[in-house]
Amino acid sequence: MSSPQSPFDGAPPPVVLGGVGHYFPGEPVTNDHFERLPGLGVDDAWIREHTGVASRHWAGPDERFAEMGVKAARAALDDAGLDVSDVDLIVGTSATARPRANPSSLGNNYMDISLPVQRQLGAHGAYCFDVTAVACAGFLYASVVARGLLATTSARTALVVCAESPRDILNFRFRNSALFGAGAAAAVWRRGESVGAGADGLPSRSGLIDIVLHADGRYYDAFDIDENDKMVMRGGVLSEVTPDMLVDAGQSVLKRNGLSPDQISWCVPHQANTNLLYPMADRIGIPRERMLLNLPRRGNTSSVGMPGALSEFVHDGTVKPGQLLLGVSIGRGLSWGAMVFRYR
């Protein structure tokens, strides 16, 4: 297991979360769809009780990861007041894209997110790559990679794009297929200017205050792909270890920054399952009413979960600029972590 990284010491320039955007395709697919599937043996009440999900979205045949990602990216750039030409770096991530079985763009069988997004967006001056192998924790990892590149290269504006479309790799003979949904989310990270500490003792102009990352390959087999290219998820293993991992990450990042849960305005977690998320919040000390959840109407959208929920609650006015947020996420690998950050 990896050891916690040292917190940022203030030497690199801070970054600012300048804009966020989201996109969910089509009309909601409600739980009655799964009630009609032969042999699944679930109803609306069962799905809500075991997952917290009432509906989710699925992409249509003419809309894949890149197409959704571009829509989220444009919304994030609009929120940041920036033009496509301002983007220096694009970092893509996805948990559900697969070569050939579930490709990321129309007319090509590869799984990359960043390059087809760059092409469709017209951000031809940006360099691009994807962060893979961390699945649902993709936004967390992609953001810290973007932060590092903003600090060490000439890039001043980074666009993180998360996109998911799980329908083609779900096995609808298993009940966990009712959990997942499609969508995209994007965030604009910009290099900021250091102006010292604020009243809370944290860098006053930094959007990403601190982050902890962990990985443990002993749980690599908790996820797999079967002979039909369908996702295999061993939920029993995950339910045993995931709660402690998320709680520890959340508590650790707060403790080493001298923060109490009372100082956190909102917790925005990976939108996994309410039976995991509510007890996690209780143990960290975050009141449930300060959890930002779009899981009930969007489903578990993997890497889109954290930034997608953040964007929805930013754009409806719930999250205000300058508020402190705690993000926690875990993905395949297992890879997990937590970060303290601000929107603007």
Cβ(13)–Cβ(193) under 8 Å?
A: yes
Q: Which helix (H) or strand (E) holds 244?
A: helix 235-255
Residue 240's nearest CA partner among 215, 276, 265 is 276
Identify the pLDDT of residue 9: 47
Q: Which of the following is catalytic: 22, 57, 214, 270?
A: 270
Identify the pLDDT of residue 7: 44
Q: How far apart are CA 117 and CA 119, in angstroms?
A: 5
Residue 333's nearest CA partner among 246, 236, 224 is 224
Identify the pLDDT of residue 8: 44
Compute how many other C-beta atoms are within 10 angstroms of the C-beta atom of residue 226: 10
Q: How far apart are CA 94 and CA 138, in angstroms?
A: 7
Phi, psi (degrees; rounded to nearest 5) at 260:
-105, 160
Identify the pLDDT of residue 302: 97
* CATH T-level assignment (fold) for domain 1-344: Peroxisomal Thiolase; Chain A, domain 1 (3.40.47)
Please say if 300 is a catalytic residue. Answer: yes
Identify the pLDDT of residue 192: 87
Rounded (5°) CA angle 12-139-276: 125
Please say if 267 is a catalytic residue. Answer: no
The residue with tokens 């006053």 is 204
Question: 3-state secondary structure string, 270-331?
Answer: CCCCHHHHHHHHHHHCCCHHHECCCHHHHCECHHHHHHHHHHHHHHCCCCCCCCEEEEEEEE
Identify the pLDDT of residue 6: 45
Cβ(59)–Cβ(98) under 8 Å?
A: no
Residues of the chain with pLDDT under 70: 1-12, 194-205
Q: Which helix (H) or strand (E) holds 266?
A: strand 266-269
Q: Which of the following is catalytic: 22, 128, 136, 267?
A: 136
Q: How many CA atoms lie within 13 A of 18 on its CB side?
A: 22
Please say if 136 is a catalytic residue. Answer: yes
Cβ(89)–Cβ(149) under 8 Å?
A: yes
